[in-house]
Amino acid sequence: MKLLITAITCLFTLGITAQVDCPNPYDGNGDGEVNTLDLLGFLTVFGDIDTDSDGVWDSVDECVDLAACNYANDPTEACSYVDALGVCGGECEGDEDNDGICDWSSCGDPIEHQGYSYSTVQIGEQCWFSENCRYLPVVSPSSASSVTSPYYYVYGYEGADVAAAQATDNYDTYGVLYNWPAVMTEDICPSGWHIPSDGEWQTMEISLGMSEAQASSTGDRGTDEGNQMKSASGWNDYNGSTGNGSNSSGFTGLPGGYRQSGDFYSNGNVGLWWSASESGSDSWGRGLFNGNSKVTRNSYSQSRGLSARCVKD
């Protein structure tokens, strides 16, 4: 009705003088534009409103609370709110020490990330994932390679279907192999966690018994730290001896193999993990091998596909 009265008034005025500037009769809210908001405003005459101004009538919008973090999302979603960790729809009620872990959670408790519950373990003063990262936004065959663009692989899978790759036993057991650009993407670790630096790997190794000099050297280092980190099952035997470790650290290092030069290698015999630290044009990583109780520290081409772990900030 307001729009109709405005239009009639304007036409009447224009009949008297051409000097008067009249508003667009269809611009009901006077913002200088004719858009969905004007239509919704007009429809209020008939009993429907848009409280949160998200372009959806309240009669079909499940969330109209502007304090909700999803009020402008799918109108079929109920309202959700940001929790203490900044997660929309999360359930954490407090993080007073701002460590990225809910106050009711401690190291050793599982942590949810992108629909999966990761197990965690305290090693020395650090809190680590005790299983490999599984983040898989896309998947590529072993022939795909780059030192600048992110690539994601599942050992033995040569297709491009994420759901099919996730349905494989290797994904279920070993997670994902990443080239270094992929392992440095933000979404791989949950909030409050990150890919460990080379120095943080050394800190963990020292807590298991390495000297500082051994930890900072390259190649095979230490004594039995690799044995402490290897899982107690899943490793192939080596020269008649078991390849399994004691897993006394709780790290649960599995032999997920790696991707290199257009193929997958050494599943069951080798586990390799990235660090966040570069070494020239390469990046530092860690290796566990069947038949070897030590931990290998080497730099690897950033095009390789290695496993990844997260450590708490």
DSSP the chain: -HHHHHHHHHHHHHHH-S-PPPPPTT-TT-SS--SHHHHHHHHGGGT---TT-SSS-GGG-S---TTSTTTTS-TTSPP--B-TTS-BT------TT-SSS-TT--BTB-EEETTEEE-EEEETTEEEESS-----SS---TT---SSS--EE-TT--S--HHHHHTSHHHHHH--EE-HHHHTSGGGS-TTEEPPPHHHHHHHHHHTT--HHHHTS-EEESSSHHHHHB-SSSPPPBTTB------TTS--B---BEEETTEEE-TTTEEEEEEEEEETTEEEEEEEETT--SEEEEEEETTSBBB---EE-
259 in any annotated domain: yes
Q: Are residues 155 and 38 in the same domain?
A: no
75 in any annotated domain: no
Is 21's pLDDT higher than 70? no
52 in any annotated domain: no
- What pTM value is reported for the model? 0.70
Q: Are residues 301 and 211 in the same domain?
A: yes
Is 26's pLDDT higher than 50? yes
Spatial separation of the C-alpha atoms in residues 129 and 20, rounded to whole Å: 71
Q: Are residues 250 and 133 in the same domain?
A: yes
Counting residues of the chain whose pLDDT is more than 70, the rounded percentage is 83
Spatial separation of the C-alpha atoms in residues 99 and 21, rounded to whole Å: 60
Is 5's pLDDT higher than 90? no
Say what the pLDDT of residue 101 is. Answer: 65
Q: Are residues 125 and 27 in the same domain?
A: no
| pLDDT, greater one: 240 or 305 | 305
**Close Cβ partners of 207 (under 8 Å, ≥ 6 residues apart):** 123, 124, 125, 126
At residue 123's C-alpha, the angle toward residues 173 and 193, to 5°, is 70
Say what the pLDDT of residue 83 is. Answer: 85
Spatial separation of the C-alpha atoms in residues 308 and 280, rounded to whole Å: 20
Which residues sit opposite 283 in a β-bridge? Answer: 278, 300
Spatial separation of the C-alpha atoms in residues 67 and 79, rounded to whole Å: 9
Spatial separation of the C-alpha atoms in residues 174 and 152, rounded to whole Å: 13
Is 312's pLDDT higher than 80? yes
Q: Are residues 43 and 120 in the same domain?
A: no
Q: Which domain holds residue 6?
A: 2-47
Is 192's pLDDT higher than 80? yes
196 in any annotated domain: yes
120 in any annotated domain: yes
Q: Are residues 129 and 232 in the same domain?
A: yes
Question: Which pLDDT tens digit goes with each residue over 114-138?
Answer: 999 999 999 999 999 999 999 999 9
Q: Are residues 161 and 288 in the same domain?
A: yes
At residue 97's C-alpha, the angle toward residues 96 and 103, to 5°, is 60
Say what the pLDDT of residue 25 is. Answer: 64
Q: Are residues 37 and 159 in the same domain?
A: no
Is 284's pLDDT higher than 90? yes
Question: If you average pLDDT over residues 29-37, what whole number do you get?
Answer: 69
Q: How many domains, the chain? A: 2
Question: Which pLDDT tens digit goes with each residue over 202-247?
Answer: 999 999 999 999 999 999 999 999 999 999 999 999 999 999 999 9
Q: Which two tokens stand for residue 153?
A: 């692989």
11 in any annotated domain: yes
Name the one residue in this structure whose structure tokens are 């000297």. 211
Q: Are residues 300 and 155 in the same domain?
A: yes
Spatial separation of the C-alpha atoms in residues 248 and 244, rounded to whole Å: 12
87 in any annotated domain: no
Q: Are residues 295 and 205 in the same domain?
A: yes
Question: For 47-56, 151-160, 239-248, which range has the lowest pLDDT when averaged over its residues?
Answer: 47-56
Provide the Cα torsion 37, 39, 45, 48; round to 10°.
-70
Say what the pLDDT of residue 55 is. Answer: 78
Spatial separation of the C-alpha atoms in residues 304 and 153, rounded to whole Å: 10
Using 50, 70 and 90 to split pLDDT, how confident is the model at 6? very low
Is 173's pLDDT higher than 90? yes
Q: Are residues 7 and 121 in the same domain?
A: no
Q: Are residues 144 and 281 in the same domain?
A: yes
299 in any annotated domain: yes
Question: If you average pLDDT over residues 289-294, what whole number do you get?
Answer: 96
